[in-house]
């Protein structure tokens, strides 16, 4: 169901009987709390029920002992317009991803638009249009931060100032356009940063016609804010080069579903050994040639926990609080003042794991029982995940 983003949620939401509360904060991923209260879409209280004001809610959710986690964030998508992707000629991919627990998506460039303009006037116009369109239209209620221009040769600082003034806050993947040299990219990244625009660089082999190899030396010289799909999209750099990027750069380490799984595991282990897991964020890099992945973020969490050896509660932080902090988003963390974006999870029926976290560490994805965005229930039992052992219940509204 489409959701008009201009309509602000109103009223008081109370969630009680939470069995496990994942905070999104990698420094303290589990909170000793069983109740969350939100007013007008913003969290106002987190704690024990006896300590929270739960009187007269407009919506009351009984979590039934399930896990409440911040809504998942996909740090790397390629939207076009509305809930349609020409890459796979598919409708409803964003709403389907909502059923995978994703409440927010970050564009890495609207690169699949047929006839995408590559002249400077046209690329700026496309970015501004995409930013406006997804601000005004939220498929299924999902927050899509879009309008990410792919930089081209000939751009000057005033172009980035103009984009920023118009509300653009992102660059598409550096390297998907004609700017591929490290020094040239570094200058444009610096102009973007000066004007409050965050940058992501393509890493690895080419993914679409017009893109090319971006090796570790270009990534380091360009110094973009996010090392986009450090495990390749699809083809990865040599494992030792990826580990070198983790060590020599202080920027975000983005691992994606549509990349090389082996190298993704190597990257997260390198980040763990370097004690910089707070820099790890997750994306799908979809829609892409391999399709749309509604459960891609959950699958990445299970992969990095099950095969990468990361405790499940920390792996969930990669797709929540880590991303929110690096991307400067209002969700991603369960704390007062943050957006009331939640996903309710439980162990999948008949998993070998005795608890949700144990099941994820065994490599199983959990079941989604409900998704809440801005304090409003957007979907209940997921149509895409395996059925959860228990699901929350709206008991009053």
Task: Give CA–CA dist 243/248, Å, rounded.
Answer: 9
Per DSSP, what are the bridge partners of residue 226? 200, 252
Contact 203, 217 (CB under 8 A): no
Nearest to 133 by CA among 151, 160, 113, 157: 113
Task: Give CA–CA dist 286/320, Å, rounded.
Answer: 18
The pLDDT, as a whole number, for residue 396 is 73
Alpha helices by DSSP H, listed for the chain, are: 93-98, 120-136, 157-165, 182-194, 216-222, 239-248, 261-273, 296-306, 312-318, 321-327, 356-361
pTM for the whole thing? 0.97
Task: Give CA–CA dist 204/206, Å, rounded.
Answer: 7
Contact 43, 35 (CB under 8 A): no
The pLDDT, as a whole number, for residue 234 is 87
The pLDDT, as a whole number, for residue 6 is 46
Torsion sign, CA atoms 282, 232, 247, 151: negative
Give the Å distances, CA to CA, from 54 to 59, 84, 110, 304, 340: 10, 40, 43, 37, 15
Give the Å distances, CA to CA, from 50 to 31, 160, 371: 16, 51, 25
Contact 394, 377 (CB under 8 A): yes
The pLDDT, as a whole number, for residue 8 is 63
Cis bond before residue 287 (omega within 30° of 0): yes
The pLDDT, as a whole number, for residue 2 is 44
What separation, in Å, do the N-terminal and C-terminal C-alpha atoms of the chain show? 20
Tokens of 85: 């992707």
The pLDDT, as a whole number, for residue 206 is 84
Average pLDDT of each block of 10 consecutive residues along the chain (397 residues)? 54 97 98 98 97 96 98 98 93 97 98 96 98 96 98 98 98 95 96 98 82 90 98 94 98 97 98 98 94 96 98 98 98 98 98 98 98 97 97 88
The pLDDT, as a whole number, for residue 10 is 75
The pLDDT, as a whole number, for residue 210 is 61
pLDDT tens digits for 147-156? 999 999 999 9
């Amino acid at each position: 169901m489409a959701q008009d983003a201009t309509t602000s949620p109103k009223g008081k939401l109370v969630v009680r009987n939470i069995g496990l509360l994942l905070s999104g904060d990698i420094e303290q991923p589990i909170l000793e709390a069983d109740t969350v209260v939100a007013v007008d879409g913003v969290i106002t209280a987190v704690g024990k029920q006896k300590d929270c004001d739960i009187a007269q809610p407009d919506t009351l959710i009984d979590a039934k002992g399930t896990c409440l986690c911040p809504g998942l964030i996909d740090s790397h998508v390629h939207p076009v317009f509305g809930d349609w992707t020409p890459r796979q000629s598919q409708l409803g991919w964003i709403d389907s991803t909502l059923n995978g627990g994703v409440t927010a998506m970050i564009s890495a460039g609207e690169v699949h638009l047929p006839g995408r303009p590559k002249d400077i006037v046209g690329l700026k116009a496309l970015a501004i249009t995409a930013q406006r369109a997804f601000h005004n239209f939220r498929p299924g209620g999902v927050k899509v931060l879009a309008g990410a221009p792919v930089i081209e040769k000939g751009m000057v600082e005033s172009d980035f100032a103009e984009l920023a003034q118009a509300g653009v806050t992102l660059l598409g993947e550096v390297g998907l356009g004609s700017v591929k040299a490290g020094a040239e990219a570094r200058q444009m990244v610096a102009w973007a940063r000066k004007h409050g625009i965050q940058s992501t660089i393509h890493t690895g082999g080419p993914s679409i016609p017009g893109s090319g190899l971006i090796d570790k030396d270009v990534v380091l010289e360009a110094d973009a804010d996010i090392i986009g799909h450090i495990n390749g999209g699809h083809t990865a750099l040599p494992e030792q080069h990826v580990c070198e990027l983790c060590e020599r750069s202080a920027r975000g380490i983005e691992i994606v579903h549509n990349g090389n799984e082996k190298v993704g595991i190597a990257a997260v282990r390198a980040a763990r050994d370097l004690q910089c897991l707070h820099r790890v964020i997750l994306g799908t890099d979809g829609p892409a040639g391999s399709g749309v992945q509604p459960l891609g973020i959950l699958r990445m969490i299970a992969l990095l926990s099950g095969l990468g050896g990361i405790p499940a509660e920390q792996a969930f932080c990669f797709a929540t609080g880590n991303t929110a902090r690096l991307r400067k988003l209002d969700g991603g963390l369960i704390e007062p003042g943050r957006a009331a974006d939640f996903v309710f999870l439980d162990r999948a029926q008949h998993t070998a794991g005795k608890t949700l976290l144990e099941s994820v560490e065994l490599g199983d994805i959990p079941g989604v029982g409900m998704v809440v965005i801005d304090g409003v229930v957007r979907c209940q039992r997921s149509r895409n995940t395996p059925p959860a052992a228990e699901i929350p219940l709206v008991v009053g509204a």
